[in-house]
Amino acid sequence: MTPIHIVLRWAFVVIVAFVLQIGLVTQIHVFGVVPDILVVLAVCAGLSGGAQRGAIVGFWIGLLFDMPRSHPLGLSALAYCLVAFVAGTAQVVILQSGRVMSMIIVATGSVLGVLLFAVEAQIFGQETLSNPHLVKILVVSVLVGAALSRPALRVAGWADGPETRSVAE
């Protein structure tokens, strides 16, 4: 696959995930919490394509997610880019490991992404860390990350193409 094919596939995946997040996922509250599937996709982008691609894809996913929201533009972009990069770095660790390890990393990455966003938003004057449901939000992030790790890794693997698809998938 040529780089332009990879870019087009990722653009398609990110747009579909974004539409699902704002249209469908916002309607489904898990224990009163709106799940974040975009952070899961960002982490899987890092796991599947490596740290470099993770940082790029994570940035664009986050930036797109920032657009319709009322907080400062760029908060999710920064959080998702960092967490996807870390996941991509962790890819080396799980190279010889199985599905359970990749599930754990996606779940951990998802909760870290959400927490990082909350810290950044708090710094920028939003009351996110003082949100009374913060713990519940983090727990749901872990559960959603674990539950969606397999399909999200498959989607990320498809977007990356067969040449760069990692063992994590």
Partner 1 sequence: MPASHPRRPRTTLIVMVLLSFTVLTIGGKDVPVLGTVRSSIIDLTGPIGSGFRSATKPIRSWWGGVNDYDRVEAENRELREEVDRLTAKQSSNSTAAIDLARLQEQLNIAFVADIPFEMAQVATGPYSSFDNNTITIDKGASSGIAVDMPVVTSAGLVGNILSVTEKAAVVRLITDPEFSVSVRLVTSGVIGLGHGAGPENPFVIDERVPLDLAIEKGEKIVTSGLETTIFPKDIPVGTVDEVSPSQSALTQVLDLTMAADLVRLDYIRVLKWEPPE
Interface with partner 1 (CB under 8 A): 3, 6, 19, 21-24, 26-34, 36, 49-53, 55-56, 58-59, 62-75, 77-78, 81-82, 85, 88-89, 117-118, 121, 124, 126-128, 130-133, 137, 140, 163-164
Determine the distance from the C-alpha atom of residue 22 to the mean position of all C-alpha atoms in its chain, rounded to a whole number.
Answer: 15
Smallest separation (angstroms) from partner 1 to the CB of 64: 8
Residue 34 token pair: 């709106």
Q: How far apart are CA 87 and CA 92, in angstroms?
A: 9
Question: 79 vs 5, 56, 86, 114, 120, CA distance in Å?
Answer: 26, 12, 11, 8, 8
Smallest separation (angstroms) from partner 1 to the CB of 53: 5
Smallest separation (angstroms) from partner 1 to the CB of 71: 7
| CB of 103 or CB of 137, closer to partner 1 | 137
Amino acid at 93: V
Q: How far apart are CA 83 and CA 88, in angstroms?
A: 9
Smallest separation (angstroms) from partner 1 to the CB of 42: 12
Cβ-count burial 151-169 (b if 16+ within 10 Å, e if not): ebbebbbbbbeeeebbebb
| CB of 27 or CB of 96, closer to partner 1 | 27
| CB of 100 or CB of 123, closer to partner 1 | 123
| CB of 15 or CB of 100, closer to partner 1 | 15
- Of the candidates 168, 111, 169, the one whose C-alpha atom is nearest the C-alpha of residue 145 is 111
Q: How far apart are CA 16 and CA 64, in angstroms?
A: 12
Smallest separation (angstroms) from partner 1 to the CB of 158: 15
Residue 103 token pair: 């599930």
| CB of 78 or CB of 101, closer to partner 1 | 78
